[in-house]
């Protein structure tokens, strides 16, 4: 047996990531249009940029998938000429690591909506950490900074937590997830 992820896991992860990479790219102008208002309403949709990690993990359920997916999605956005350029790669790495840490903290045994939301929030914190250096957000007026925190975290829970989980639930009904997931205890029991 090979160690780590198999080529199948990797290719499926990357395909999922690149689909979201295209969405990430399209999300940029949308975010930009909302952002010019200045009141951080755009932060509500920021959560979309954490979704690749969560969806890929929920589908494949293996260690390392979340990090790979988020990095690949960022790489995809970068190759397609995303507006934030190199910054995307660093943010992707940070967000992917954060989400991966949450899944690892539960020993890759939980796949529910709560864990998805937690991973989203962790990714949000990672992005805020990078933004501290990248966007001087520490120098915003306090009330404004709090709105930014609140809306970004709320957006993370809504999009990369709740929506991602619903999405994967519908995917399960199509039967594709059983192709790529490792066999569970129930599978072995069903074999008798």
Determine if 176 is a binding residue for other proteins (CB under 8 A): yes
**What phi-psi label fits residue 107: left (phi over 0), alpha (psi between -120 and 50 degrees) or beta?**
left
Q: Please tell me the distance from the alpha carbon of residue 156 to that of residue 44, in angstroms, as a whole number.
A: 8
Binding of residue 111 to other proteins (CB under 8 A): no
**Cα–Cα distance, 190 to 142 (Å, whole number):** 57
State in angstroms the smallest separation of the CB of 124 from other proteins. Answer: 17
Using rule CB under 8 A, residue 167 touches other proteins: yes
> Segment 31-90, which members bind other proteins (CB under 8 A)?
31-33, 35-40, 42, 59, 68, 72, 75, 78-90
Burial of 192 (0-12, 13-18, 19+ CB in 10 A): exposed
CB of 164 to other proteins, least distance (A): 11
Instruction: Name the site residues for other proteins (rule: CB under 8 A).
Output: 2, 5-8, 10-12, 14-19, 22, 28-29, 31-33, 35-40, 42, 59, 68, 72, 75, 78-90, 133-136, 138-141, 144, 148, 167, 170-171, 174, 176-177, 179-180
């Amino acid at each position: 047996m090979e160690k780590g992820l198999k080529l199948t896991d990797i290719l499926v992860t990357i395909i999922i990531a690149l689909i979201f990479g295209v969405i990430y790219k399209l999300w940029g102008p949308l975010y930009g249009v909302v952002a010019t208002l200045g009141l951080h309403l755009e932060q509500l949709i920021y959560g979309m940029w954490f979704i690749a990690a969560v969806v890929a993990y929920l589908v494949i359920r293996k260690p390392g998938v979340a990090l790979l997916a988020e990095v690949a999605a960022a790489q995809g956005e970068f190759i397609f000429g995303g507006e934030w350029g190199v910054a995307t790669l660093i943010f992707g790495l940070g967000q992917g690591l954060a989400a991966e840490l949450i899944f690892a903290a539960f020993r890759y045994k939980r796949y529910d909506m709560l864990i998805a939301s937690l991973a989203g929030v962790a990714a949000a914190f990672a992005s805020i950490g990078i933004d501290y250096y990248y966007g001087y957000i520490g120098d915003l007026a306090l009330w404004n900074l709090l709105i930014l925190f609140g809306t970004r975290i709320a957006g993370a829970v809504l999009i990369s937590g709740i929506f991602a989980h619903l999405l994967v639930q519908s995917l399960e009904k199509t039967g594709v997830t059983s192709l790529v997931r490792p066999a569970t205890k129930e599978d072995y029991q069903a074999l008798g």
